[in-house]
Amino acid sequence: MCYHADMGHYKGRVIEIRLDAGGNQEALIACPQEAIPQAGQYLHVSDLDDPEEVLGVALFLTEKSVYGFWAAPGIPNLWRPGMNLSLVGPLGHGFELPREVQRLGLVALGETVSRLMPLIGQLGQPHSGVTLFTDLPLPRMPALLEAYPLASLLEALEWPDFLAIDLPIEKLTELRNMLGLSEGSRLTCSAQALVTTSMPCVGLAQCGACAVPARRGWKLACEDGPVFDLHQLKW
């Protein structure tokens, strides 16, 4: 289980809703600093004003704010500013970017690039660079960031010394082809993947709904992930 004695239960409030470049909703959530998830971790969020809500949602960081944080898309359509929220977490394992990384490759295969954006500010080395590979509409671009279509990823694979991938679980089996790797061959750089999938039990039940095929059996995105070292997974 991923629950720990120091895991928090907080109250929050939706302050603002905005659209990302692809038209997906992001929400500014006011909350205590200790509730803010790291890049790739998630918060389990429920609508306190809706007693009939069946399940909450998992929200990821896209940008910190003085009020709390901007949550990446995955925001329910009915959410509005002023809503009161129950926040549980932060939960799961997020990205762990090694300090020595100088050339960071971001690969967005899901419906948004937002979940990868917090990594840009985590590069510790001077003169480091970030390249985003995606076919999605581009976000407001920090000066550090260059962007290329996914088709160019294959040619550029020698460049990054670390790859961070936003990976919907249904694309796991396509990943090898996308990276142009034959069976048994490996990436030359370290890589971590944020595997996005439904996590209905949020780690309370080990229900198996978010199971991810791994080199040894399977792992649960809700408690073993949702960020995995790519070499742990069967892909």
Q: Which of 138, 208, 215, 234 is in the footprint of another protein by CB under 8 A?
A: 208
| Listed ranges 15-23, 54-62, 104-112, 130-138: which one lies at the site for another protein (CB under 8 A) | 54-62
Find the helix or strand (DSSP H, E) in which 154 lies. Answer: helix 153-156
Residue 233 binding another protein, by CB under 8 A = no
Closest CA to 141 of 106, 168, 166: 106
Q: Which of 142, 198, 215, 229 is in the footprint of another protein by CB under 8 A?
A: 198
- Using a 10 angstrom Cβ sphere, with 0-12 exposed, 13-18 middle and 19 or more buried, the burial of residue 194 is buried
Residue 204 binding another protein, by CB under 8 A = yes
Residue 232 binding another protein, by CB under 8 A = no
Closest CA to 95 of 73, 131, 113, 119: 119
List, in sequence order, every beta strand (DSSP E) within 72-205: 84-91, 103-108, 129-134, 145-148, 162-168, 190-196
| Listed ranges 16-24, 103-111, 180-188, 206-214: which one lies at the site for another protein (CB under 8 A) | 206-214
Residue 154 binding another protein, by CB under 8 A = no
Residue 10 binding another protein, by CB under 8 A = no
Cα–Cα distance, 127 to 37 (Å, whole number): 27
Nearer residue to another protein within complex by CB, 46 or 128: 46
The contacts of residue 216 (CB under 8 Å, 6+ apart) are: none
Nearer residue to another protein within complex by CB, 49 or 155: 49
Query: Which parts of this chain interact with another protein (CB under 8 A)?
Result: 1, 3-5, 7, 9, 44, 46, 51-56, 86, 88, 198, 200-202, 204-211, 217-218
